[in-house]
């Protein structure tokens, strides 16, 4: 897959379902724990959105569900990064994140996409809040999956294009599991 594949949607079932199921949450996300709970809710409720996402592989159309984790990780990390406008913290279900991916996604949105794929593949996952600041204030979120072969949690952080799957974070000054 040398270059970034073209992603698009092909809705196989009633398209009206997506409008009907859309949840608009105007309540602010007050802290990192509330944000993590919302992200986990979106992953658990809407991970099946990925069954309606396809990509072009040469002349063939293939479902995103056929990708391996490294292939999907590369796809997500190549979506441009864009921070939410202050003071808003925006999260959404995978369908809308991919549909509007050209606007750019921040770490929360990319965590939803990674978490949804990990969940779809039936791996155990968790959300990590981290900091690379001296004051240890948590400012970043990413997913980890449990590797049953290595019996260890592995980082799945596709926030920036130069990030590598399972890469440790040497600049982290603080990390916590968000429940």
Structural domain harbouring 152: 7-178
Closest of 101, 171, 100 to residue 139, by C-alpha: 171
Q: What pLDDT is stored for residue 58 in this prediction?
A: 79
Residue 30 lies in a domain: yes
Q: What pLDDT is stored for residue 23 in this prediction?
A: 47
- Please write the tens of the pLDDT for every residue from 5-20: 555 544 333 344 444 4
Domain count across the chain? 1
CATH code, domain with 163 = 3.10.620
Residue 173 lies in a domain: yes
- Please write the tens of the pLDDT for every residue from 149-159: 999 999 999 99
Q: What pLDDT is stored for residue 24 in this prediction?
A: 47
pTM: 0.86
Evaluate whether 129 touches 141 at the Cβ level (below 8 Å). yes
Residue 2 lies in a domain: no
Q: What pLDDT is stored for residue 108 in this prediction?
A: 95
Residue 1 lies in a domain: no
Residues of the chain where predicted confidence (pLDDT) is lower than 70? 1-29
Evaluate whether 142 touches 111 at the Cβ level (below 8 Å). yes
């Amino acid at each position: 897959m040398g270059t970034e594949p073209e992603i698009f949607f092909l809705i196989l079932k009633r398209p009206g379902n997506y409008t009907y199921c859309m949840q608009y949450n105007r309540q602010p996300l007050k802290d990192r724990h509330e944000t993590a709970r919302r992200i986990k809710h979106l992953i658990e409720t809407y991970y099946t959105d990925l069954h309606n996402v396809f990509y072009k592989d040469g002349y063939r159309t293939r479902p995103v569900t056929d990708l391996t984790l490294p292939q999907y990780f590369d796809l997500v990390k190549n979506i441009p990064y864009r921070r939410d406008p202050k003071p808003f913290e925006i999260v959404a279900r995978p369908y809308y994140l991919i549909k509007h991916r050209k606007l750019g996604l921040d770490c929360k949105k990319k965590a939803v996409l990674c978490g949804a794929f990990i969940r779809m593949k039936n791996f155990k996952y968790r959300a990590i809040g981290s900091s690379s600041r001296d004051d240890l204030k948590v400012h970043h979120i990413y997913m980890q999956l449990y590797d049953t072969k290595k019996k260890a949690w592995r980082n799945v952080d596709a926030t920036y294009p130069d990030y590598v799957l399972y890469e440790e974070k040497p600049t982290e000054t603080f990390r916590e599991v968000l429940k």
